[in-house]
Structure 1
Amino acid sequence: CNRGDYRRFKQFSEAVRNQPDLSLRDLLDFREGTPIPIDQVESVSDIRRRFLTQAMSLGALGPEAHETLNIAMNRIGARSVSGEGGEDPERYHPRPNGDDANSAVKQVASGRFGVTAEYLNQCREIEIKVAQGAKPGEGGQLPGFKVTEFIARMRHAVPGTTLISPPPHHDIYSIEDLAQLIYDLKAINPDARVTVKLVSASGIGAIASGVAKANADAILIAGHNGGTGASPQTSIKHAGLPWEIGLAEAHQVLTLNNLRGSVTLRTDGGVRTGRDVVIAAMLGAEEYGVGTAALIAMGCLMVRQCHSNTCPVGVCSQDERLREKFTGTPDKVVNLFTFIAEETREILASIGARTMDEIIGRTDLLRQVRRGGAHLDDLDLNPLLVQVDEGAAGKWADKGRKPIADSLDARVLKDAVRFLDRGQTLELSYPLNNTQRTVGAAVSSAIVRRFGSQGPAGRLKLRLEGIAGQS
């Protein structure tokens, strides 16, 4: 990671900036501020912790590429997202050299895609994929010829069988259903934050408000461009809206409903440069996902054959012959995120901001610019730049994790100490009523954390009498 490499990244960033206008942020620029020395701006390390790799599953990506992203993001204290598709349990333990190949964020889209109690307990965050930017309205899919024996084992599926998750999440038909799933996930992993992934769309503000009320810790607004490893071109072309629209609306409506302070906003979809990051922050996002650029850093050539299992550089292939051509390393990915953070610092210094927190929601620092084309200059982007609460802008702090109330499981765990400490067979009885939600989930979490996925030699038997709750 040297200055020569960074100069080449800056050339890439400038080339992105000088492309024909392809996104709404190309029509925005920063208002002039009073510059400050860059050494007064928060560090690269602090900024990098806000980054994530987008959800790209083990199945869409080859195992080597998927693992490389995980190692790189764990090295810099950031997060990688598993995607819907399970995780190799061998990654749950650090390597001899100290590297961690485990995804910090585990995605849940369908229970049959490798989602187990062990999987859900091996993460810092759980992401519920209600929608996706690459193909809104469609489920995730993996063609059968990419479902090898290894991938099938990770997903608890049959080799060679095409895997398609339901278009909407299979058991979410209302905000109440979503609230219950969030409760379930916080019960099965008492430490993890829960994020809900939405796709940018008109009216998303009302949906985001419901998600915040459902006790989510973070909301991801996914943009319309993306899709790796499985999406056919008919799914990813001309679908969805830019993240700028959805992010601005979600931030504004959450603020109007006094909910913005309780949830973290995140965005992804075509984020490639420090400029993209700063604009996303000013529109309301605190965290930023990078997908395609991370793949390019690992050697992706953008031949757009991800879904055909013929990736010539082994990034998006399960073919062992092609996977041997993969040359990506964690260092290359670390360099990319370092360069994005460094460019972000330069922009912050140029507008007089010392930290990212100072600019979150600060749409007053943006202005629309003319590009010399009637088809662009007659657009009115003022709705994106509305500040609904000027006093609160730039003051959104880390929200942490919203806890859930104790349930019957808390009593069970207290009474089952002999079982959990020594694996001693135990039988317990309790009355049950329908206010007891998610009975057994926290107990399952304690068992898998203490004894692993195989469980102990002894057994814990619960006799429950009464009426069960929702889950």
Structure 2
Amino acid sequence: GRLRHSVPGVGLISPPPHHDIYSIEDLAQLIHDLKSVNPQAEVSVKLVSEVGVGTVAAGVAKAKADHIVIAGHDGGTGAAPWSSIKHAGSPWELGLAETQQTLVLNRLRGRVRVQVDGQLKTGRDVVIGAMLGADEFGFATAPLVASGCIMMRKCHLNTCPVGIATQDPVLRQRFTGTPEHVVNFFFFIAEEARQIMAQLGVRRMDDLVGRADLLNHRPGIQHWKARGLDFSRIFALPTAPAEVARRHQSGQEHGLEKALDMQLLARVRPALVKGGRVVLNTIARNIDRSVGAMLSGALLHKFPNGLTDGRVHIEFTGTGGQSFGAFLTRGITFRVTGEANDYAGKGLSGGRLVIRPNADFRGEAQDNIIVGNTVLYGATSGEAFFCGVAGERFAVRLSGASTVVEGVGDHGCEYMTGGTVLVLGRTGRNFAAGMSGGIAFVYDEDGQFAQRCDTAQVALDPVLATGEQHAAGVPLHNNEADEAALLRLLKAHIEWTGSVRAHALLDNWPRTRQRFIKVFPHEYRRALIRQQAHTASNPVSIPPLCAA
């Protein structure tokens, strides 16, 4: 739970839905975000072998992924549902053949490396995979078996009898595997592959990739089930000119050298190396994507322990593009006078993001959109202040950051696992669906919030005064009383944005507090109560469940 920035003891939806990806364009943005924060890393996209996977793979290649994995239906961990293992996907041979042909026909094959997996076990599998178009081959189950796995399918239960997929120290003592077992297995794989390649007259693996013309089916198999089977589409060679690449030959052009962060880095790095503080003013344009991601990655590489708060303060004027402030790390503050697009603050990692309207704005902030959809997706730490309304899916999978916003669209705080959210206005429908951790405070101005909230996993409680909360025995979130947390966030919101709305609520606090509703997940409440009981019986220092 701690590794996933969640609360130990609280159940999670696994695997979680990817609510930042609804199209190839969304995937392209995510790939750009990841390449920006770590340009040396290669981004891999895994696709299920099924009908139409070639078209999807072409879109993924155009989205500038560096690596594509085609996963066959035979694979799957011991934690995978049996229904998925039996009924999901198709053989890797079919998906790989379709992917290779489609990528070559669209002149995309040379840009990406293609890997195939799904119960590959022999050198023959490797050779056939190469002929159908794979550059790389993934092995999982077979090396596990070589290490001692007996396929009990208990990987998710912590009861693996041979000590592989378990944290139980008693069971782990049963593990008898050695690295030499796996090395020996792959020596046999390589030897068999070399023998088959020698029989085919092929010297190098690169010369084998895409050579489906060397494949044929066994004509000696005469069975009624095999009658009428047509392998021509699997063995087909793409009708593209000879100069079109049939295997991986070059890298993707990500265009990172044109990023605004390159200019910011050039201005920020010299001052930080000398130990100074940096304050900059610049223009934000909506064509500049992932601003702050490359800056954060580069500074974290130079200063692994992060920066002290306020070391880098950049004031922007204009419109932030997609993923503005993504992965912003500790010590960096971005304040925008204007607005921002989708994914602002994605993966916030200790930094501070502030967005406020222009000084000549004459409308009501709580009635106007200032940031787009999927803001603060997966933010693990830091704080964000938005003087206006956010779009849909605000703070989805938030897992530690604190934020104040003056209204949100549908599906706010969905799958949230930690952190604190303060909403000073109306919310959309389906608020807090799947929320398992953290706290949300919502100002219920019209008294209708309960109808817009999914209460399957959360309780809607009043915000008690500090003394009343202690007297009632209500557990503390991040070791702070609810009223104290509310006041702190309101004052910080005023300090960073000058919010008129926050001023008005603070000026009439005793009455205002009564209209706030605390969204408190049931499992999180139980975890806090267990922690309190443990602390009372064992008075030692225990780290908080999740950082604010």
TM-score by length of 1: 0.64
**2:107 aligned with 1:249:** no
Shift of the alpha carbon at 1:166?
5.8
| Aligned ranges 1:59-78 → 2 under 5 Å | none
- 3-state secondary structure, aligned to 1:308: coil
| Aligned ranges 1:173-212 → 2 under 5 Å | 173-212=22-61
**2:396 aligned with 1:396:** no
For 2:295 and 2:199, locate their aligned partners in 1 and report how far apart those are by CA, in whole Å. 52
Residue deviations 1:113-139 (CA, integer Å, cap 9, x gap): xxxxxxxxxxxxxxxxxxxxxxxxxxx
Question: Identity percentage over the alignment?
Answer: 52
**2:158 aligned with 1:306:** no
* Number of matched pairs: 320
* Corresponding residue number in structure 2 for 1:325: 174
Amino acid at match of 2:254: P
* Corresponding residue number in structure 1 for 2:226: 376
Q: 1:167 to 1:198 in 2, by over 3 A?
A: farther
Shift of the alpha carbon at 1:168?
5.0
Shift of the alpha carbon at 1:400?
3.5
For 1:302 and 1:171, locate their aligned partners in 2 and report how far apart those are by CA, in whole Å. 35
For 1:423 and 1:335, locate their aligned partners in 2 and report how far apart those are by CA, in whole Å. 52
* Corresponding residue number in structure 2 for 1:10: none
Amino acid at match of 1:282: M
**2:191 aligned with 1:342:** yes
Decide whether the 8 Å contact of 1:432 with 1:465 is kept in 2. Answer: yes
Unpaired runs of at least 5, structure 1: 1-151
Decide whether the 8 Å contact of 1:274 with 1:342 is kept in 2. Answer: yes
**2:415 aligned with 1:415:** no
Q: 1:177 to 1:411 in 2, by over 3 A?
A: same
* Corresponding residue number in structure 1 for 2:321: 469
- 3-state secondary structure, aligned to 1:290: coil
Decide whether the 8 Å contact of 1:209 with 1:257 is kept in 2. Answer: yes
Decide whether the 8 Å contact of 1:362 with 1:393 is kept in 2. Answer: no
Amino acid at match of 2:206: D
Greater Rg over alpha carbons, structure:
2
Amino acid at match of 2:35: K
Amino acid at match of 1:396: R
Decide whether the 8 Å contact of 1:245 with 1:384 is kept in 2. Answer: yes
Higher helix proportion: 1
Decide whether the 8 Å contact of 2:148 with 2:176 is kept in 1. Answer: yes
**2:144 aligned with 1:295:** yes
For 1:448 and 1:458, locate their aligned partners in 2 and report how far apart those are by CA, in whole Å. 15
Unpaired runs of at least 5, structure 2: 324-548
For 1:266 and 1:392, locate their aligned partners in 2 and report how far apart those are by CA, in whole Å. 22
Amino acid at match of 1:292: T
For 2:317 and 2:137, locate their aligned partners in 1 and report how far apart those are by CA, in whole Å. 47
For 1:157 and 1:167, locate their aligned partners in 2 and report how far apart those are by CA, in whole Å. 13
| Aligned ranges 1:166-177 → 2 under 5 Å | 169-177=18-26
2:292 is aligned, of 411, 422, 440, to 440
* Corresponding residue number in structure 1 for 2:134: 285
Shift of the alpha carbon at 1:161?
3.0
For 1:200 and 1:439, locate their aligned partners in 2 and report how far apart those are by CA, in whole Å. 35
* Corresponding residue number in structure 1 for 2:236: 386
For 1:335 and 1:422, locate their aligned partners in 2 and report how far apart those are by CA, in whole Å. 52
Decide whether the 8 Å contact of 1:361 with 1:394 is kept in 2. Answer: no
**2:121 aligned with 1:269:** no
For 2:79 and 2:276, locate their aligned partners in 1 and report how far apart those are by CA, in whole Å. 46
* Corresponding residue number in structure 1 for 2:312: 460
1:429 is aligned, of 281, 293, 312, to 281
- 3-state secondary structure, aligned to 2:87: coil
For 2:63 and 2:215, locate their aligned partners in 1 and report how far apart those are by CA, in whole Å. 32
Shift of the alpha carbon at 1:375?
1.4
RMSD over aligned Cα atoms: 2.1
Shift of the alpha carbon at 1:236?
1.7
Q: 1:232 to 1:395 in 2, by over 3 A?
A: closer
